[in-house]
Each structure stands twice: as C-alpha cells, then as structure tokens.
C-alpha cells in the first residue's frame, strides 16, 4: 500500500511537507505537483528551496504542459496517461489532493480525498470579486473565461473527491457545491522543539531582532494584507485593520513606547494598511519587512512577545498554529460552533476575539502579569504538542484512509 500527495496549487509548500513527513515516519508516499511554475509565498521552492527526493515524481510532468490557466486537451490527456502509469508502477492505493486539476485523478482511475485550502472553495467555485471601478467590458470578457477555465475545474475537483476537508466557516459554500459529500479533518502539522531548547532560541532571536528594530519588544503578524475596499467582503479577509486598531488602543492604554508591531509587505492592501496606520498616528511604531520563508518566520514567531492571526475570517490557519508551536501567545478569531464539520476537539489557547477594545485590554494584561504571560506561552506550546505534532498528523492520516 502506498499513498500519493497530489497538488496543482502548492499552498505554501504544505502538500510537499505532508509527503516528507509521511516518508520520514515510514509511510510510503509519493508526491506530484502540477504547479512547478509557481513562485512567491505560495510555492514550495520559496519556503524550502530546490529539494530533490526520490519520492517526488513531479519531474515526470513537463512544465510546458500545465500552465493551469491554459491546459490544452492534448496536455490533459498526457497528464492523465502519466497518472495512470504512476498508479500502476508505484502501487498507489490512496490519494490526498488539492488544487483545481485534482479532477484529473478521477479520470486516471485514482480515488482521492480533497483538502479545501480556502479560496479554492470560497472564491474559485463562485463569481470573482471585482476590484472597485473595474471596467464593465472587462468583466464581460473575463467572466466566461473564469467559468470555463477556473470555476468548472475547481468545482469538479471538489465534487469528484471521495470526501472533503473544510474549515467550519466554509459550511455554506460546501452546501452549495456538494452538500452530501462526506467530511473529514486532519490536524495541522508542525515540528515540535523541546521547550528548553525553544526558550533559548526565543531569547537569542528576540535579542537579535529587537536590536535591529531598536525596540525592547515587538508584536508580529504574518498575515497578508487583504481587508480594504471590495476585498472587505472577501472570504479571506484577514482583518489587518483590526490588528492596527487594537495596537493603537493598546498604545493609548499602556503608554508603551518600547514595543513595535512588525508587519509583512504582502497582499493587495499593504498601502491601505500603511494609510490606516498613519491616520491612527501609530506609523512610527510599525516596522515593515519583506516576505520570508517558513524558516525565517519561525525566528520572528519565537522572538515576538505576541502574534496576531487573522481577525475577520473565522478560521485557524498556520498563521495561528505556527506562533503557538514556537511558544508564543496568539490573538486570532475563529468559530467552532458548527458540529457538522469535523475539527479539533480541544480549542487552542488563543485569545479569540475581533474586538479592538477587548484585544487591547488582553494585551495590557499580558504585558503587566509576567506569571500569566509565561503560563500562557507554555500552554500554547503544549496544545500544539498534543494536537499538531508530526506524529499526530501521521496517526490521523493513516486512520483517515483506514476507514475508507
């Protein structure tokens, strides 16, 4: 019995890491990416560099055959033919997939379970979100293309799956696409450091980063900036405006002149965030840094006094669990009141709110009570250790397919 991890969108390299973790724990797993032209923070290469493993079969597919927007009939036939060959040669018995070309697996005779990573279900399965003042004639041209080249493929990829993993907030979108499809849940997966070693790294990295930004402490958010204009209605609204308003209220309550907020220059609304910070008169306390890979992100997560996740879309993402894994308290917003969607049985120890006043008061409590702060840091790490370790992921993965 062997497994295949398939993606036509690399989701920040996470499908690749799934295959790596499974192989590391003795589970024979192969990996195929049809997104090898990807670049930036969504790509495996950005986060992990050029890695060549014997279980990575992506090289069997010619890059020229699958620019996702322009996959031609002859390329589709070739992809299906190669997938059939992989199934036979490597004895593929189970498949975990994500991305809009996953439906090709079904045509190759490979049954699969599908992971909805967010915008694939929320946005690509429905009408596009147009920027403000977008020309009407362009909408008329782009919409038919969107339907036939993106929406239909994405819907088919979800529809043809044996079962689907979604976040609780996605239940309405799921009900419109495939309400009778079986749901499953897999935990996030993170490498867990020994806590004593982690504390040493936290101290070292805090010293280095604080020296570089000329501050005693800092808060950190890795969320890309999606929140302004028409994007305020987007399913992946990160609530960056709430982060800035919460920070501004904290500064007023505490008169803290020694703490800064580090944000990443990533997303369509970076300039909107800069303008808001200026209007709130907190821009001098904001440090902007370039996008970074997961290895560099860990240093900021470790060094931060506290992190912000995303504060409008109610979901637990890696921007939440990665700080917790690094023993850092996180403020984020999620809802888990939909029992129809399989999810974590135990809530993570994050401060769950999207109210700037509540958040500011919570931060004041953190900064003024060292014992409370230390205890919550440790609880954050413990929750990840119990719920999101590599071992827990492998156990859950094997249990999922044993029920098939």
42-74 pLDDT per residue, tens: 898 889 888 889 999 999 997 655 554 445 666
Residue 39 has pLDDT above 90, yes or no: no
Residue 284 has pLDDT above 90, yes or no: yes
Q: In the chain, what's the furthest Cα-to-Cα distance? A: 66
Predicted pLDDT of residue 69? 47
Task: Give the pLDDT confidence of 336-393 residue by residue, as tens digits.
Answer: 666 789 999 899 999 999 999 999 999 999 999 999 999 999 999 999 999 999 999 9
Residue 247 has pLDDT above 50, yes or no: yes
Residue 182 has pLDDT above 70, yes or no: yes
| Residues facing residue 163 across a β-bridge | 113, 182
How does the average pLDDT of the chain come out, rounded?
A: 92
| pTM exceeds 0.85 for this model | yes
Residue 130 has pLDDT above 80, yes or no: no
Which residue would you say has higher pLDDT here, 73 or 199?
199
Lowest mean pLDDT across 195-209, 252-266, 329-343, 370-384: 329-343
Residue 37 has pLDDT above 90, yes or no: no
Which residue would you say has higher pLDDT here, 1 or 300?
300
Predicted pLDDT of residue 147? 60
Which residue would you say has higher pLDDT here, 28 or 127?
28
| All structural domains of the chain | 2-188+392-402 (3.40.50.2000), 195-388 (3.40.50.2000)
Which residue would you say has higher pLDDT here, 68 or 214?
214
**What's the 3-state SS for the chain?**
CEEEEEECCCHHHHHHHHHHHHHHCCCCEEEEECCCCCCHHHCHHHHHCCCCCCCECHHHCCHHHCCHHHCCHHHHHHHHHHHHHHHHHCCEEEEEEECCCCHHHHHCCCCCEEECCCHHHHCCCCCCCCCCCCCHHHHHHHHHHHHHHHHHHHHHHHHCCCEEECCHHHHHHHHHHCCCCEECCCCCCECCCCHHHHHHHHHHHHHHHHHHHCCCEEEEECCCCCCCHHHHHCCCCCCHHHHHHHHHHHHHHHCCCCEEEEEECCCCCHHHHHHHHHHCCCHHHEEEECCCCHHHHHHHHHHCCEEECCCCCCCCCHHHHHHHHCCCEEEECCCCCCCCCCCCCCCCCCEECCCHHHHHHHHHHHHHCHHHHHHHHHHHHHHHHHHCEHHHHHHHHHHHHHCC
Q: What separation in angstroms does the CA of 243 have from each of 233, 275, 296, 313, 331? A: 17, 14, 22, 13, 9
Predicted pLDDT of residue 4? 98
């Amino acid at each position: 019995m062997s497994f295949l991890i398939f993606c036509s969108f690399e989701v920040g390299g996470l499908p690749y890491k799934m295959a790596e973790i499974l192989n590391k724990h003795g589970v024979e797993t192969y990996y195929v990416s049809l997104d090898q032209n990807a670049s930036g923070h969504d790509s495996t290469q950005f986060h992990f560099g050029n890695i060549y493993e014997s279980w990575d079969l992506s090289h069997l597919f010619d890059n020229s055959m699958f620019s996702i927007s322009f996959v031609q009939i002859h390329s589709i036939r070739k992809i299906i033919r190669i997938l059939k060959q992989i199934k036979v040669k490597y004895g593929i018995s189970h498949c975990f997939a994500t991305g809009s070309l996953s439906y090709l697996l079904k045509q190759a005779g490979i049954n699969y379970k599908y992971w909805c990573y967010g915008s694939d279900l929320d946005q690509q399965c429905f009408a596009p979100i147009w920027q403000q003042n977008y020309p009407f004639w362009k909408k008329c041209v782009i919409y038919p293309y969107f339907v036939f080249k993106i929406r239909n493929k994405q819907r088919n990829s979800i529809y043809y799956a044996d079962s689907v993993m979604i976040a609780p907030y996605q239940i309405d979108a799921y009900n419109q696409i495939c309400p009778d499809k079986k749901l499953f849940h897999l935990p996030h997966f993170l490498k867990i450091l020994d806590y004593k070693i982690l504390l040493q790294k936290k101290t070292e990295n805090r010293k280095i980063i604080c020296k570089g930004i000329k501050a005693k402490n800092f808060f950190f958010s890795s969320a890309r900036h999606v929140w302004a204009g028409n994007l305020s209605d987007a399913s992946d609204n990160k609530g960056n405006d709430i982060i800035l308003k919460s920070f501004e209220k904290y500064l007023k309550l505490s008169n803290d002149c020694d703490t800064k907020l580090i944000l990443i220059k990533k997303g369509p609304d970076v300039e909107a965030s800069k303008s808001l910070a200026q209007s709130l008169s907190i821009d001098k306390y904001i440090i902007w840094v370039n996008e970074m890979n997961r290895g560099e992100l860990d240093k900021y997560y470790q060094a931060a006094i506290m992190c912000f996740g995303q504060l409008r879309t109610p979901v637990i993402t890696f921007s939440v669990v990665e700080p917790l894994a690094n023993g850092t308290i996180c403020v984020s917003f999620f809802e888990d009141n939909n029992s129809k969607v399989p999810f974590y049985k135990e809530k993570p120890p994050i401060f769950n709110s999207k109210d700037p006043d509540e958040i500011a008061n919570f931060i004041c409590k953190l900064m003024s009570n060292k014992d409370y702060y230390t205890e919550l840091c440790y609880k954050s790490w413990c929750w990840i250790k119990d719920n999101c370790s590599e071992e827990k992921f492998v156990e859950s993965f094997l249990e999922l397919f044993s029920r098939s």
